[in-house]
A and B are shown apart, each in its own frame.
Chain A
C-alpha cells in the first residue's frame, strides 16, 4: 500500500501534472494501478540494465589483460615464425592441433599412439612417482619436525641431495630397476619428495609452544598429539609442499621421458622432433602447460577445503 502511494506521488512528479490528475488517479483505482506497475517495471528494468553494465565492466576489467597477454604471445610467435620459416606459425599449429585432437586415442603400435594416450601415460607416471613421494615424504617430514635428533640427522643428507638435478638420478634408476618405466617414476619420486619433506617438517616445527604445552598438561598420547594437534596445524604447510611437488614432478616428466622413451608426452615431443613435426612440439608445449595449470588448480582447491580458518 505504501509503495503504491509513494509511487503515486512520484508518478505525479514525473508527469508533472496538476492536482486534478492526482485526484483523478487516486479516485479511480483501476486506472492507477496499471500505470504505477508500468512505472515501477520501467525503473527496475533501468536498474537491472545498470547492474548488467557494471557486471560487464568488471568482467572486461578481469578478462582483458590476460587476453592481451595471450594475443601478445601469439603476435611475437607469428613474428618469429615469419622471420624463421622453419618454425610453424599459430595458424598452421592450430590446424595441426585440430587434426591431432580429432582422434586423440588411436593406437598403431607402441611407437605411434594418440596424444591422449601419451598424456595419460605421463600422468600415470607422475601419479605413481608423486604418490610414493607423498607416502615417504609426509611421514618423514613429521618425524623430522617432531624429533630434533631426526632433524639433525637428516639435515646434511637433505641439503646434499636436494640441489641435485632430478635427471642425474636417472642412470641410478636404470641401473637398479633395469627398466625405463620404473626409472622414470623413480626420477619423479626423487624430485617430488623434497618439497613435501621440507614443508611438512617446517610446519611441524612451527607448531606453537602453547599447543604443545596443552598436549603436555593433558598428557596426550603421541597418537593424539599427531591427529589432534600436529596434523590439523601442519595441513596447510603440507598442502604447499604437495603443490610444489606436483609442479616439479610435472616439470621433470617431460625431460625424463625424453631420455627413457616409451609412451608419454615427453617421449612424444622427442619422437615428433625426430619426425621434424614442429607443430606437434609446439602443441606439446601447450599441453604440458595446460595440464600443469590444471593440476596446480585442482590441488589449490583441495588445499582450500582443508583449511580450518
Chain B
C-alpha cells in the first residue's frame, strides 16, 4: 500500500473549481490532473489570476472542489489538517504572540493532545528546534512587528515545519520579500527540505525560483477554466548552488522553456 502510494502521494483527479460571484458563475479551474511523488518538490507557476493559489488551497483543504477528487497519502482530502502545513504569502503570524508562541501554538495542537500527547518540555523542545532550524533563536521572544519581513517568513516556515507535515504547501512564500532576502531564504529552504525530505508544493510567479527549487515545474494556462499546460522535469542534481547554475546550460535551457511557455505560448493578454 505504501509503495503503491509513493508515486501519487498527493493526487488531484479531474478537479474542477467554480466560484459563484456577483457577476455569475466563474469557472476557475478545469480538469486538473496531477500526481505528486513522495518527497518531491513541485512548483506551480502561471500568470496572476490563473488559479494557481486555488490549486494550493484545494490541496490544503481550505477549499472544496466543485468536481473531482483530491487525495493525500491515499486518503481523500476532506478539509484542512496539520499533515498539510501551509506557509502563507503574508506570513500570517499572529501579531500579539511572540515568534516562539506563534510556533508553539502549532506544535501544541499537533503534538500536545490526543493519545500520544507530549509533555510541555517536549513541546517546548520541538518549538525551539523549529526556530533554531530557521536560525531565529535570538529573536524567539520578539513579536512579529519587531522583526523584518524575511524573518517573519522564516517564522512562518518554522511554524509549518514544526508540525512535521507530510506535505508542505507554500503560497508564494517569498513574493513579498526583496530580491536578496528572497535568494537567501530560497537557499535555506532547499537545505531544510533536503534535511526533512517532506513533499512540497509551492505556488510562485518567479521563474528562477521555480526552476531552482523544484523537481518538477507545473505550468498553468491562463484562466478562466485554467488547467495544467505543461509539466517540466528539472533533473538538475542536488544540492544546487545558485552561482554554479547561472552558467549551467541545462538550467538556462529549463528557464527558457518556462519563459517561452509563459510569454509565447500562453502570454497573458493585456487588458
Take A217-B60, A217-B80 as given contacts and tell me if A224 and B92 are in contact as well, using a CB distance cutoff of 8 Å.
no
Which residue of chain A lies nearest to B171 when distances are taken between CB atoms in the complex?
Answer: A213
Is A216 part of the contact surface with B, judged by Cβ < 8 Å?
Answer: yes
With the chains together, A309 CA to B85 CA distance in Å?
28
Question: What is the interface residue range for chain A against chain B?
Answer: 10 to 19
Partner of B84, one of A210, A217, A228, A233: A217
Which of B25-60 touch A at CB < 8 Å? 60
Closest beta carbon of chain B to A221's beta carbon, Å: 8
Chain B hits for A219, CB < 8 A: 80-82, 109
Is A68 part of the contact surface with B, judged by Cβ < 8 Å?
Answer: no
> 0/1 per residue, B108-120, Cβ < 8 Å to A?
0110000000000
A218 touches B109 (CB 8 A): yes
A214 touches B82 (CB 8 A): no
Chain B hits for A210, CB < 8 A: 88, 90, 92
A216 touches B109 (CB 8 A): no
Is A211 part of the contact surface with B, judged by Cβ < 8 Å?
Answer: yes
Which of B96-143 touch A at CB < 8 Å? 96-97, 105-106, 109-110, 143
> Mostly helix, strand, loop or mixed at chain A's interface?
helix
Is B94 part of the contact surface with A, judged by Cβ < 8 Å?
Answer: yes
B88 touches A214 (CB 8 A): yes
Which of A211-258 touch B at CB < 8 Å? 211, 213-214, 216-220, 224, 228-229, 232-233
Is B197 part of the contact surface with A, judged by Cβ < 8 Å?
Answer: no
Partner of A228, one of B62, B90, B105, B163: B105
Which of B62-86 touch A at CB < 8 Å? 62, 79-82, 84-86
With the chains together, A211 CA to B156 CA distance in Å?
12
Closest beta carbon of chain A to B169's beta carbon, Å: 9
A216 touches B62 (CB 8 A): yes
With the chains together, A233 CA to B88 CA distance in Å?
19
With the chains together, A29 CA to B167 CA distance in Å?
80
Is B181 part of the contact surface with A, judged by Cβ < 8 Å?
Answer: no
With the chains together, A210 CA to B102 CA distance in Å?
14
Is A62 part of the contact surface with B, judged by Cβ < 8 Å?
Answer: no
Which residue of chain A lies nearest to B79 when distances are taken between CB atoms in the complex?
Answer: A216
B92 touches A211 (CB 8 A): yes
B94 touches A217 (CB 8 A): no
B62 touches A217 (CB 8 A): yes
Is B145 part of the contact surface with A, judged by Cβ < 8 Å?
Answer: yes
Chain A hits for B224, CB < 8 A: none
Question: Which residues of B are in contact with A by a Cβ distance under 8 Å?
Answer: 60-62, 79-82, 84-86, 88, 90, 92, 94-97, 105-106, 109-110, 143, 145, 163
7 contacts between A and B (CB under 8 A): A213-B62, A214-B94, A216-B79, A219-B109, A232-B94, A233-B96, A309-B145
CB-based closest 8 A-B pairs: A308-B96, A232-B96, A210-B92, A216-B80, A217-B80, A217-B86, A218-B109, A214-B92
